[in-house]
A and B are shown apart, each in its own frame.
Chain A
Amino acid sequence: MEIRKSYFADERRDDLKEIGQSRQRSDTAGHVRGITPFYADRHVPALLHLRMVRSPHHHARILRIDTSAAERHPGVKRIITAKDVPHNVYTVLNLINIGPEDEPVLAFDKVRWLGEPVVAIVADSERGAYEAAALVRVDYEELPAVFDVEEALRPGAPLVNEYHGQNYYRYDSGASRKVKLGDVEAGFRKADHILEERYDSSPMEHAPTETTGCIVVPDQNNRLTCYTGTQAIFFTLDNASIILDIPGQRLHFIGGTAGGGFGGKVDCTVEPITLLAAMLTGRPVAFIYNRYEEMQISSARAAERIYIKDGLTKDGRIVARQVRCYVDSGAYSRHSPYGAQKAAAHFPGPYSIPNVEIDCYCVYTNRTPSSSMRGFGVTIADFALEVQMDKLARIIGMDPLEFRFINAYRDGDMKAHRQLTEGAALIECMQEASIWANWPVESRFLKMSSREKRG
Chain B
Amino acid sequence: MTKVPVQMTVNGEERAEFVDSGTTLLRFLRDKIGDLTPKAGCLQGTCGTCTVVVDGEPRLACITLAEDCRGGTVETVAGLSADGKLHPLQQALLDHFAAQCGFCTPGMLMAAKALLDANPHPDRADVEDALSGNICRCTGYEPIIRAVLSVSRSHARRGTPERGAV
In the complex, B78 has a CB within 8 A of chain A? yes
A444 proximity list for chain B (CB < 8 A) = none
Q: Are B90 and A32 in contact (CB under 8 A)?
A: yes
A291 proximity list for chain B (CB < 8 A) = 41-44, 46-47
CA distance A40 to B47 in the complex (A): 17
A36 proximity list for chain B (CB < 8 A) = 102
Interface residues of A in 231-279 (CB under 8 A from B): 258-262
Contact of A210 among B77, B90, B101 (CB under 8 A): B101
Contact count band on A = 20 to 34
Query: CB-nearest residue of chain A relative to B89?
Result: A32
B18 proximity list for chain A (CB < 8 A) = none
Contact count band on B = 35 or more
Shortest beta-carbon distance, A292 to chain B, in Å?
9
Pick 28 A–B contacts, CB within 8 A, sort by A.
A25-B100, A27-B99, A28-B99, A28-B102, A31-B99, A31-B101, A32-B93, A32-B99, A32-B105, A33-B81, A33-B90, A34-B36, A34-B76, A34-B77, A34-B78, A38-B103, A40-B40, A41-B36, A206-B137, A207-B137, A208-B103, A208-B137, A209-B101, A259-B103, A261-B101, A291-B42, A291-B44, A291-B46
Q: Is the interface of A mostly helix, strand, loop or mixed?
A: loop
In the complex, A24 has a CB within 8 A of chain B? yes
CA distance A28 to B90 in the complex (A): 10
In the complex, B94 has a CB within 8 A of chain A? yes
A259 proximity list for chain B (CB < 8 A) = 39, 41, 101-103
Q: Are B94 and A24 in contact (CB under 8 A)?
A: yes
Interface residues of B in 118-149 (CB under 8 A from A): 135-138
For B31, B46, B101, which residue has the most chain A Cβ atoms within 10 angstroms?
Answer: B101
In the complex, A298 has a CB within 8 A of chain B? no
Q: Are A209 and B93 in contact (CB under 8 A)?
A: no
Q: Mark B3-42, 1 if CB is under 8 A from A, else 0.
A: 0000000000000000000000000000100101101111
Query: CB-nearest residue of chain B relative to A32?
Result: B90
Query: CB-nearest residue of chain B relative to A292?
Result: B44
Q: Are B137 and A262 in contact (CB under 8 A)?
A: yes
Q: Are B37 and A34 in contact (CB under 8 A)?
A: yes
Query: CB-nearest residue of chain A relative to B135?
Result: A209
